[in-house]
Amino acid sequence: MFHWLEKRPFFFGVGIFLVIAFAGLVMIIPHFVQQSRPLIGTKPYTILEISGRQVYMQNGCSNCHSQLVRPFKHETDRYGAYSLSGEYAYDRPFLWGSERTGPDLMRVGNYRTTDWHENHMLDPEGVVPGSIMPRYPWMFTNSADIDTAWAEAETVRVVFNTPYNKDIPMMDGSFEQVKLSATVEGGRTDALAEAKLISAEMKNQDVKDMVAAGKVPEIVALIAYLNSLK
């Protein structure tokens, strides 16, 4: 039936291209049209958490840490439930990573605490003997960029319809809201209030002094982010 086509390589090539392109479109287009569906209980990041996420990206943590638990027993035993796509609905960009020099951090908020991170980020070797993770002492004195974090939250709210200030369904049937102030000044106030809760659990004096002076150290934002990874 298609002998005439087999004798004409050009049209045969075009035919193959059309078939593969069509199959591709059938697979790809629905994903763009459909909004990615967040898993029940997945909340957008607060401004402080976004700011910590930016610190995480700036310092290249993903060069050594993945954020994706694969569906294998040895992974779920160690890190917890394997990752589902709906958990990344508010991750822009996602930070799956491809390198695990250090452990996966997808669910680190379940088994590490604020004071553990405080000691570990300052001196990993002191907490985990033999650790090759670098020290990050400057995070205890550098200010986090809260204004940019607020701008990012406002951008994803407008562009991607991220549900700030809206009821978000939780696993137990209740609803929760993540607040996003309409102004950058309001965003700074919210982030500082959240930072105070975290710094209260820390012992570093530089951090406490900065927060008392109305500034948010990078380490506090980073810990807020790490605690949110569950």
Residues 82-101 that bind ligand HEC (CB under 6 A): 101
By the 8 A CB rule, do 191 and 47 touch? yes
The smaller minimum CB distance to ligand HEC, of residues 63 and 143, is found at: 63
Q: Among 88, 90, 136, 140, which residue interacts with ligand HEC (rule: CB under 6 A)?
A: 136
The interaxial angle of helices 184-199 and 146-160, nearest 10 deg, is: 120
| SS3 assignment, position 56 | helix
Q: Is 133 in the site for ligand HEC (CB under 6 A)?
A: yes
Of 109, 137, 110, the residue nearest 123 (C-alpha) = 137
Q: Among 41, 80, 102, 163, which residue interacts with ligand HEC (rule: CB under 6 A)?
A: 102
Select the span of 27-35, 42-50, 133-141, 194-202 touching ligand HEC (CB under 6 A): 133-141
The smaller minimum CB distance to ligand HEC, of residues 38 and 124, is found at: 124
Which residues contact residue 176 at a Cβ distance below 8 angstroms, ignoring those fewer than 6 apart?
A: 43, 167, 168, 170
Cα torsion 147, 45, 138, 126 to 10°: value is 170
Q: Is 155 in the site for ligand HEC (CB under 6 A)?
A: no
Gap between the Cα atoms of 153 and 158, Å rounded: 9
Select the span of 20-28, 123-131, 163-171, 175-183 touching ligand HEC (CB under 6 A): 123-131
The smaller minimum CB distance to ligand HEC, of residues 164 and 225, is found at: 225
| Interacting residue ranges for ligand HEC, rule: CB under 6 A | 56, 59-61, 63-65, 101-103, 105, 108, 112, 124, 128, 131-134, 136, 222, 226
